[in-house]
Amino acid sequence: MTIGRHENITYAEFEHNLADLNEPVIVGVSLTASWPCTSEWRLANGPNLAALRRYGHHSVQVANCSVRQFNEFERSERKLDEILDIWEREEGQNGRLYVKDWHQALLLEQDGGRQDQIYTTPDIFKDDWMTHHALSLAPPDDYRFTYAGPPGTFTPVHRDVYGSYSWSSNIVGRKRWWLIPPEHTQLFRTRSSKDDLVFDVREVDEALWEDKVLVVEQHAGETIFVPSGWHHQVENMDFCISINQNFASSHIMPTIYHNLLHSLSRVEDAISDVKELLQEQALKNAEPSDAENTEETLSWEKEWFEQVQSLLEMDAGWGLRGFWSMVAYNLRNPPTNASLRPSDEYVFTNIRPLVEDFKQRREYVVLADLARIVDEVASIVGTRP
Ligand SMILES: O=C(O)CCC(=O)C(=O)O
Ligand SMILES: [Fe+2]
C-alpha cells in the first residue's frame, strides 16, 4: 500500500478526497516553508528548544511514555519550562516525556498574539467546523495542538473523536505513522473484547497486517491528512515538533452524528441502573392518571438524559448539545469563503437527514433547549420536498 503524495493540491482536488475517497494524503514541504515556526524551531541537526522558551509559561499536557494508563500513557499538566529543562538535560537522547495537546495558538491568542505568528491553517483544511465553533464559546476553546517529544515517544493506536479528521505538519524531525483502513480495524482487536484495540500495533504479528496497513515516514516540513475513521499510531523517529489540528467539515457530519449516537447508547447501557432508579422514583410520585409527556414523566427523563450527556461530555469532550450547536453555528457563520468549502446545497443535503432522524428521538421532545437549536438548523437546511 502507498500513500498519495502531492507537491501542491488545490481545495477542489482535495474536496474530492473529503467527499468521496477518504484516503490519507501527504502534502510536500512548500505548504509549510513560509511558516514562522519552520524557520524558528529548526536547527541544522535538531530542534531549537531555546525558541520554545518564550512559551515556557504555557501549561501543557505531558504524556509519560514509560507508564501506560488504560488506552493512553499517564498524563500530567506541567509548565513547558519544566519540560524544556528536562529535554535539555537529556540532549536529544531517547526520552519519555511527550508534550501533547498543547493549545499553543489559543494560549498565544490569550496573551494578545496571533496564530499566524506560528503558522497559517492551509486552505485545504480551512473548512473546519470544530475549531471555528469552539473559538466562539466562552471561554474559547480549540482543537489546535502542538506536539513535541524526543525519539521513541509515541501516540498509541486511536481514532480521532467521533471519527473526525486530523492534519499534522511536522516542523522538526521525522515521524512514523501506521494508518489502518477502517475495513481492517478488526486485525487489531484484542481477544478479550470486541470493542478494544491493542495499545501498540507492534503487539500484533506484522505478517498479519503488513500488506493492509499504511506505514508512512513523514519528513520535516511535510503535512499528513488522516481520514475519517482510520485508526492510527504515531512514533517520533527523531526529536519532533509538529503542528496538528483535529477537524471536521460538513462532509463527515453524518459520520460524527452516528458515532456520537453509538457512544451515547454505550453510556446508556453502562448506567442503565440509574435509569431504572429514576423511573421507579417517578412512578412512586405519580398519580395513576398520569399519561406520557406530563411534568412527572418529562422530569425523570430529563434528569436521565442530562446524566447521559454529562458523561458523554466528560468522555469525548462533547455530546448532543455540542454537536448541534456546532452545526447551527457553522451554518450561520461558514468558517471560510465559498471557494474553500462545498456548496450550500451539498451541505444542506448532508445535514437534512440528521435533523429528520433526531426529531424522532425522545431527546428532541424532552430537552427543550436542544430542540430549539435543532429547529434553527431545520429552518436553515429546510425539509425534504
Ligand atoms: O503526532 C502524534 O503523536 C499524534 C498525532 C495524531 O494522532 C493525529 O494527528 O491525529
Ligand atoms: Fe489522532
Q: Is the CB of 236 under 6 A from ligand 1?
A: no
Residue 330's Cβ-count burial label (10 Å; 0-12, 13-18, 19+) is: buried
249 HSE (CA, 13 A, CB side): 26
CB distance 243 to 172 below 8 Å: no
Nine-digit cell at 100?
Answer: 501533547
Domain count, the chain: 2
Residues 303, 329 within the same domain: yes
Instruction: Tell me if 236 sits within 8 A of 154, measured CB to CB.
Output: yes
Domain end position, chosen among 215, 248, 281: 248
**By alpha-carbon position, which residue is closest to atom 8 of ligand 1?**
166
Residues 350 and 274 in one domain: yes
Q: Are 255 and 163 in contact (CB under 8 A)?
A: yes
156 alpha carbon to ligand 1 midpoint, in Å?
A: 9
Average pLDDT over residues 165-190: 97
User: Which residue is associated with the grid cell 516540513?
Assistant: 221
**Residue 34 clears pLDDT 70, i.e. is over it:** yes
Q: Is the domain of 287 the same as that of 172?
A: no
Indicate whether 22 and 125 sit together in one domain: yes
Nearest to 253 by CA among 343, 128, 82, 76: 128
Return the pLDDT at 95.
Answer: 75
Q: Are residues 106 and 239 in the same domain?
A: yes
Q: How far away, in angstroms, is 160 Cα from ligand 2 center?
A: 5
Mean residue pLDDT across the chain? 95
Q: Are residues 309 and 185 in the same domain?
A: no
pLDDT score recorded for residue 292: 64
Q: What is the pLDDT of residues 77-93, one digit of tens each?
A: 999 999 999 999 987 66
Same domain, 35 and 126: yes
Q: How far is CA 293 from CA 166, 299, 362, in A?
A: 42, 9, 10
Residue nearest to atom 10 of ligand 1 (CA): 166
Expressed as residue numbers, the domain containing 227 is 4-248
The pairing of strands 59-69 and 72-79 is antiparallel
The phi and psi torsions of 3 (rounded to 5 degrees) equal -100, 145
Q: Is the CB of 102 under 6 A from ligand 1?
A: no
For residue 11 and ligand 1, the question of a CB distance below 6 A is answered with: no
Residues 216 and 263 in one domain: no
Clarify whether residues 244 and 267 are in a common domain.
no
Size of the chain in residues: 385
**What pairs with residue 280 in β-bridges?**
none
Cβ burial, residue 12 (10 Å; 0-12/13-18/19+): exposed
Same domain, 311 and 167: no
Calpha distance 151→238 (Å, rounded): 4
Residue 368 Cα to ligand 1 middle (Å): 37
Question: How far is it, in rounded angstroms, from Cα 106 to Cα 246?
Answer: 14
Whether residues 209 and 288 share a domain: the answer is: no
Task: Report yes or no: 6 and 31 within 8 Å, Cβ to Cβ.
Answer: no
160 CB within 6 A, ligand 1: yes
Among 184, 214, 248, give the residue marking a domain's end: 248
Least confident segment among 52-56, 275-279, 350-354: 275-279
Residue 193 sits in the same domain as residue 300: no
CATH code of the domain covering residue 200: 2.60.120.650
The pTM score is 0.96
pLDDT digits (tens, 9 = 90+) for 275-301: 999 999 988 887 666 566 677 667 899
**Gap between the Cα atoms of 241 and 99, Å rounded:** 9
End residue of a domain, out of 248, 276, 296: 248
